[in-house]
Each structure stands twice: as C-alpha cells, then as structure tokens.
C-alpha cells in the first residue's frame, strides 16, 4: 500500500510486522477486535507477519487462528534480523516492549501501543506513532486518512 503524506516522500508499506505479547494479546489472550481487523487487512493483500519471543508458549496457536506467518524470535536482535529479510524499507512494525527496539530501528514505520503490559521507554522514543491500543494501530492501515493525518508535516 502506498500512502501520499503531505510534506514527505510517498510511504510504501508492503509488510506489517506484529508483536504478540503486550501487543496483540494480553496475558496470552487475544485482544477483542484484533481477529476481525487482521482478516480485513489480509483481504487487502497486506503481508502480515507475527514476530514473538513467545513468552506464553501460544504463538503457534494464535498465528494459526489469525492465519499469520509466525517467527519465534528469542531476543531483540533476532527480531531485527528477521525484519531485514522482509524488505524493511517497506515494512511497518507494531510493538511495545524492549524486545521491539531493534526491530523499530530497522523498519520504515514504527507504531507503539500503550496497553496493559506497558511500554519500554527506549522503544517509545524510537516510535513514529503512539496509539492507545492495537485496534487503533491496525485502524491506521484500515482507515489510512488517520495515518496520513498523523504523519503529515
């Protein structure tokens, strides 16, 4: 998807990289509304990939339920290394924790969610956009005028 943001070069996002724990799920449970939004984004032909340290051991089940490709990444550097294989200059990432910092430093667009698990200060400072929930983050791509309004100069 290409976004024409006033005052900037066009922004092309082909891949959306999602964190699991603290982002899509809280205490191992998928957040209400995520399933429907992911389905809608998949229908728009956006590639969506789940990167996770799999703290709760349920990443495979959730990825299966959401029909997403999953990469279990043991640490922050592994997340960044996996992102480098996915054309990071056309990738967006949504996350919240310290494990997402190097990923955020690798991809083109970085979105941080402020949910129950909290956020890491360094990851917050590396983000482009901060939203209160994963549903708000996913809506930036489903309702692109929100993304454009937030990113315009």
- Residue that wins the pLDDT comparison between 7 and 136: 136
State the Cα angle at 88 between 48 and 143, rounded to 5°: 50
Is pLDDT above 90 for 151? yes
| Domain CATH code at residue 56 | 3.40.50.1000
- The rounded percent of the chain whose pLDDT value lies above 90 is 79
% of residues, the chain, pLDDT over 70: 100
List, for residues 19-65, the tens digit of each pLDDT value.
Answer: 998 899 998 899 999 999 999 999 988 899 999 888 888 999 999 99
Q: Are strands 25-26 and 29-30 parallel, antiparallel or unpaired?
A: antiparallel
**Can you give the residue range of the structural domain that contains 126?**
2-151
Task: List pLDDT tens digits, range 113-130.
Answer: 999 889 999 999 999 999
Total domains in the chain come to 1
Q: How many CA atoms lie within 13 A of 26 on its CB side?
A: 12
- Measured in Å, how far apart are the chain's first and last C-alpha atoms? 20
Tell me the average pLDDT across 10-22: 93
């Amino acid at each position: 998807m290409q976004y024409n943001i006033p005052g900037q070069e066009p922004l092309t996002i082909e891949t959306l990289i999602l964190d699991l724990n603290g982002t899509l799920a809280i205490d191992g449970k998928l957040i209400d509304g995520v399933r429907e939004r992911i389905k809608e984004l998949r229908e728009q032909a956006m590639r969506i990939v789940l990167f996770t340290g799999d703290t709760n051991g349920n990443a495979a089940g959730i990825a299966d339920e959401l029909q997403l490709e999953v990469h279990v990444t043991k640490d922050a550097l592994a997340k960044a290394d996996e992102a480098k294989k996915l054309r990071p200059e056309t990738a967006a990432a949504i996350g919240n924790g310290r494990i997402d910092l190097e990923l955020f430093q690798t991809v083109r667009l970085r979105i941080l969610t402020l949910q129950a698990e909290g956020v890491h200060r360094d990851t917050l400072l590396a983000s482009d956009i901060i939203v209160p929930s994963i549903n708000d983050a996913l809506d930036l791509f489903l309702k692109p005028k929100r993304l454009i309004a937030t990113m315009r100069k």
